[in-house]
A and B are shown apart, each in its own frame.
Chain A
Amino acid sequence: MNRIDERFDELKRHGKKALIPFITAGDPDVEYTMNTVRALESAGADIIELGIPYSDPLADGPVIQASSQRALKGGMNLDIAFDMVQNLRINTSIPLVFLIYYNCIYQYGLEKFVEQCGKAGVDGAIVPDLPYEERQVLKPLLDDAPVYFISMVAPTSAQRIKEIASSAKGFLYCVSSLGVTGERQAFDSNIDAFMEKVNLYSAVPTALGFGISEPQHMRRLGHLADGLIVGSALVRRIEQKASDRDIYEFMRGLRLALDECMEQTMGNNS
């Protein structure tokens, strides 16, 4: 069984939601990233997204772009990322998902990428520039691995939602609002209707991302999906050279807010 499925099953049994932080692998170096992963896990993260740095990250806002540049400057590459995951796997079984642009996979070689994911212990891949129409080159290879190809839906997906959501594996990455990654103050009211539609069709748990950055967002959005993704807010702290302790505190705050929101919802239901 894929570690992602195991984690969501467990969360469901406990009536909890998944907290999914994103960090760029190798920003500013591998050792820092490994320490951060441990801090995130002990603060209660359920799945960790590791961004593979890329020179031209189309779907990302300034914070993650800069993070990508720092990691590249530090010499990060996909081979090192696989080694890092292999090392992390000695001590952790937390689900790890790569966020990786397609050109990085294409140059590495699709088969080799899939094989290395399996070997190192990567549980899924999010490829933000490989939409439904283009994914067929990669998805069957991952399915056999088995490493999950994590699909994305956006508020503009409209009639595409059904097709994408019903064939999703692992979890479905739901883009909260138009635009690129980055912290947002508020969320459009359409988000509730969007998530209602997504949840109706999704074959797997849903995770909401883009703009989610603080405890009050956990409370506002927690009931809309099975998990929440936090990226830029965390990466900005890394840019400011946050200590393991700072990372832990920040993630802990989000965890408590998310759990609190669920306890209230469950309380209301009973």
Chain B
Amino acid sequence: MRLEPRIASPAQTILYPVAAFAATFAFAALLVLLAGVSPLGVFRLVFLGAAGSQFALLETLTRATPLIFTGLAVTVAFRAKLWNIGAEAQLYIGAVVTVVLGTGAVAAPSWALVPLIALAAMLAGGLLLLGPALLKTRFGVDEVVTTLLLNFIVLLFVSLLLEGPLKDPMGLGWPQSQRVVAEAQWPRLVQGKRLHMGFAVAILAALAVWLMLARSVLGYEMRAVGHNAAAARFAGIPVNRVLALTALISGGLAALGGVAEVSGLKGNLTLDLSPGFGYTGIVVAMLALLHPLGVVASAIFVAGIFVGADAMSRAVGVPSYIAEVMTATALLTMGTAIVFTRYRIRWR
């Protein structure tokens, strides 16, 4: 078996990704059958749970918000081939900064406090990724491993804070922070519903990232470094500086997701703030083929599967982990589909 490069026809560029999704659903159907339930009924419940009502739709968009941020973080990093697998940690650092500054330490009106917290959090998240980026450029340390390990270190650090300096005295002993003050909160987008300003900010961020990648000098440099670092260096592009800036932006975006979750939704910081948003962000980014605007769509899709699966799981006895299985499967099948659009498979 061998691959021959080709340029796929427009029909193929649509067909293969569709086939990838079909394969994903087929695999999920198989697992649902194992549970002794009809797959079609389950998929219907998932769909209704994700988009069957205004409540469901808003819930999906709410869940999509942090995924857009982490998805963008991964997109920016992966475009420059900086393998940031640490969006989880950067998101938590953003949340930590939010509760450090937002629970009364800084008294300021909302118009000042909200941007202040956001900027401080983005800086912190960016710096958290700058470390691995510098270790990569200075010492040749693979950033995959360092960013992965940092996820565990940061989570322990958060645990330390929540049982120590940031612990809510009124929290009945639970490891949780105090709630952020009203001036630090992000307003709701729909009165009385959970969807908050974070979603709008996420859309704006996607637009900004798209503009930056497609039109700015830095975006050009990032893509050049990502596609061929040796050629970029030869042409005079300052590769190490570009990677450092990429780290700051990528980490900052993920951290902003943490701010949004605390200030917009949860109100305080707990150890289960993120059920793996950082890792799922990789799936979101790859399903979007690393396109910033595609990230919005794929985040909503992935969020829909999660929200829908939760609802479905409550109704029938299929574990909600089916959502994780489906997103992971989609990641792999989509990757395969892309290979098929770029190469023709020849058997012997």
Q: Do A and B come from one complex?
A: no
